Structure 1
């Protein structure tokens, strides 16, 4: 992008684990080199721990989760929450949908980049007519392992699997071709090829 062009704003929204936050932060750093305005949204405890150089144009946006007594704000990260509190952390994170929607409405970014653990973020963006892109922080093999069980079941038929399998695969390929990044639905419909 040329410096006289208007800068696009991106809201980045990773899951509450440092293994997700740091790849998002590296992507944010690289995007700033191309004249993007970056907003980085996470819990205050995570934002405080980020090694962010002051010269980068990245604005940190705190997302305040509900704080039940069993999960005070200093545990709003997988790094600090004990393993038995992870389900509560996930529930508390999902309970922040309204707070995130308010942030989205306030910032009105041009694009939302969200993580796999909060598909509701893409839904909130769609309601505001903001395109949403999923950024996967894992390798393709790991992603395939977790995505495979979520595939639709093959069609039921009295015929043998050999007779329906090619048609099922064609339907899956067709569905994937009309979705965004690697089969994850977009918030605005089918993806377009470049």
Structure 2
């Protein structure tokens, strides 16, 4: 990619320390942002833990002078599995223990940002960072920034709609949400009607846990509010106004500071992806996928962190079988084993039209195939960006937590996906799955969904505009440092 205008700018290059939360859905876009900043002539210190750094793709050689990866050893915490360094390594109930271990990185991170030396890039690594860009869980980062007199920005890889739904602490104190019904309603601080920013009952019931102290000693909502409230000068979203109209001015007003888009940070290397893995088990599935008719296969992936239960797996399998549609299923839930959960004889009955892959699946590479016609997804923001905004695939939506329901509502309103019907407790049947899959892949409605998805991709997935948002972000970093 050609160097951009920032390198020729009269402003000196910045040194930016970037530290994502220990989840690959966070680390990958943080690393992509780091690459974009390095391509613009800035020096970036990307911080993670040893095992995570090893699993991320190596820094491109042309950026190695400006982008360095520094690792901090994750402390041992009782109850956390040995070697666990990311949310992909633990079951959902142990994520608070991972956060407790993560909080112990405060002191080594403080020592890191306070040191001098460590690289070239016109000597820019020989000074303290001009900025720290951190994630929503870094409850301790503000005190480090204050100690070293370094401004901070919070980078949220989640959609702006989630921040609008959560709202600032003062609005929550003025309008407390105490009941399930409160969480099912549009927040009162959003001053105009919306048909997307609300939760269904089963989603609202799970939100209460975010307001309760967990095994890390801190409630998740307090992490977000404290990170925002203290030394955070900017809030950056992996989003853009084309994807989420009207939200950025509202959020800047609500949080009393600039809330700016980074753009979608669309992946640039489709073949390689961003995380290393053993591609060999996938190759047989890849050959099968290559041999299918155009737009005939539905790709199925629920991410590595969604709290998928055994009954969800069983009903999803039943639905794929009942749908009669070709499918490739990336079975990557870490806490369970596929062989114990798939219905007896399932893979035999769907042989020839359905493939289940229990090892590594390079998702962007799969989504780029012309044989893929739709995506059964948990509606994580990263997966939505990769499938819909990058390739224009319509969605079969099966959200589980946090922002996923908000994304599903928004995509349904925009006519690019169908949400699987759920009962009030969040359960669904194989028949519900099959009906949604067939609406997208078989029935006449699917043609309109596909057209809408391609049109949205054309508007939102503009790579030139995506780069312009990074240029504008750099201008904010220069202006507010």
Measured in 1, the distance between the counterparts of 2:23 and 2:104 equals: 17
**Structure 1 residues 121 and 23: alpha-carbon distance in aligned structure 2, compared to 1, 3 A threshold:** same
Q: What is the Cα deviation at residue 135 of structure 1? A: 0.8
Contact 1:12 1:113 in 2 (8 A): yes
Which of 102, 127, 144 in structure 1 is aligned with 2:147?
A: 127
Q: What is the Cα deviation at residue 7 of structure 1? A: 2.4
Contact 2:15 2:42 in 1 (8 A): yes
User: Helix, strand or coil: the match of 2:87?
Assistant: coil
* Residue range with higher mean Cα deviation, 18-27 or 48-57: 48-57
Which of 80, 85, 91 in structure 2 is aligned with 1:71?
A: 80
Tell me how many residue pairs correspond in the alignment: 170
What TM-score results when the alignment is normalised by the length of structure 1? 0.75
Alignment deviations for residues 116-147 of structure 1 (CA, whole Å, 9 cap, x no partner): 111321331122110101111011112323x2
Matches within 5 A, 1:7-22: 7-22=13-28
Alignment deviations for residues 68-102 of structure 1 (CA, whole Å, 9 cap, x no partner): 35335620111112323211111111122111111
Which of 41, 54, 61 in structure 1 is aligned with 2:61?
A: 54
Which of 80, 83, 86 in structure 1 is aligned with 2:95?
A: 86
Measured in 1, the distance between the counterparts of 2:157 and 2:41 equals: 23
Measured in 2, the distance between the counterparts of 1:32 and 1:174 equals: 27
The residue that corresponds to 2:40 in the other structure is 34
What TM-score results when the alignment is normalised by the length of structure 2? 0.32
Matches within 5 A, 1:39-188: 39-52=45-58, 53-56=60-63, 57-68=66-77, 70-71=79-80, 74-106=83-115, 108-145=128-165, 147-148=166-167, 150=169, 151-154=171-174, 176=254, 178-181=256-259
Between 1 and 2, higher relative CO (CA 8 Å, sep ≥ 6) is seen in: 1
Measured in 1, the distance between the counterparts of 2:56 and 2:146 equals: 29
Q: Which runs of 5+ in 1 are unaligned?
A: 156-164, 183-191
**Structure 1 residues 122 and 73: alpha-carbon distance in aligned structure 2, compared to 1, 3 A threshold:** farther
Contact 1:7 1:37 in 2 (8 A): yes
Contact 1:114 1:122 in 2 (8 A): no
Q: Which runs of 5+ in 2 are unaligned?
A: 1-6, 117-127, 176-187, 192-249, 261-478
Larger radius of gyration: 2
